[in-house]
Amino acid sequence: MRAVALVPARAGSQRVPGKNVRELAGHPLIAYTIAAARESGVFDAILVSTDSEEIGEIARRYGAEVPGLRPGEIATATSPDIEWVSHLMAGRDEEIFGILRPTSPFRSAATIRRAFDLLVELGERADSIRAVELVRQHPGKMWVLEGELMRPYVAQPAEGVPFHSMQYQALPPVYVQNSSLELAWSRVLEGEPSIAGRRVAPFLTEGHEGLTIDYPEDFERAEHVVATGQTAVPTIASPSRS
């Protein structure tokens, strides 16, 4: 079973400028994703998709391949993932591809192996798996503003206590995706291409595996996690000087 890791590292992050190569515990953020992918032993290749030669050079130094820069028209802030994934996968024949985003530095080699084994075990029953975790802000307590008033974002129970007046523990469990990983059978790229297909299975992240750096305060949290020894980042060998 051949698999390829795809690591997106666009240069134009707006919320956390330069986040993919910003240093955490002495190494650029992208280095931890590359290290975890290599250590997992499940990938035949680790490919980085970037529109930046600087990011590309850093990725190569830490052991990834950069098969050319991502074209500008598919490297905008609103470009869907399917565009760069299709661009990177063109002409390749691995049965499985994994999307590993640099913004999840605590996703370990063991995390990746656990997810890979799950997808293989599911086989034809799922097109892909995606990392999820329990929501902290439940959609049952969300609202949409309509003029001077507002209405619940999701349909409320026909009878009894509405969701917005329940305790969190009484609400139905809802999961939200995080950015730590997505694994899919490459067949989802055929026909009407998709990165997930129609049958998506959950991969429940544990502890800090799903911590995603999307905002400046997320980076501060990641630094605190490392400094206090709550979770270790993947071990990184000395980068190449070439």
Q: What is the pLDDT of residue 32?
A: 98
What is the maximum span of the chain, computed from C-alpha positions, in angstroms? 67
Full set of structural domains in the chain with CATH: 3-135+174-227 (3.90.550.10)
Mean pLDDT of each 10-residue bin along the chain, 242 residues long:
96 84 96 98 98 96 96 93 97 97 97 98 98 96 98 96 97 96 98 97 97 94 96 86 60
Other beta carbons within 10 angstroms of residue 45's beta carbon come to 15
How does 74-103 read in b/e, with b if 16+ C-beta sit within 10 Å? Answer: bbeeebebbbbbeebbeebebebbbbbbbb
Strands (E), 29-106: 45-49, 96-99
From the CA atom positions of the chain, what is the Rg in Å?
19
Q: What is the pLDDT of residue 12?
A: 78
Cα–Cα distance, 133 to 117 (Å, whole number): 19
Q: Cα dihedral angle (149, 154, 156, 161), rounded to 10 degrees?
A: -80
Other beta carbons within 10 angstroms of residue 15's beta carbon come to 11
Q: What is the pLDDT of residue 241?
A: 65
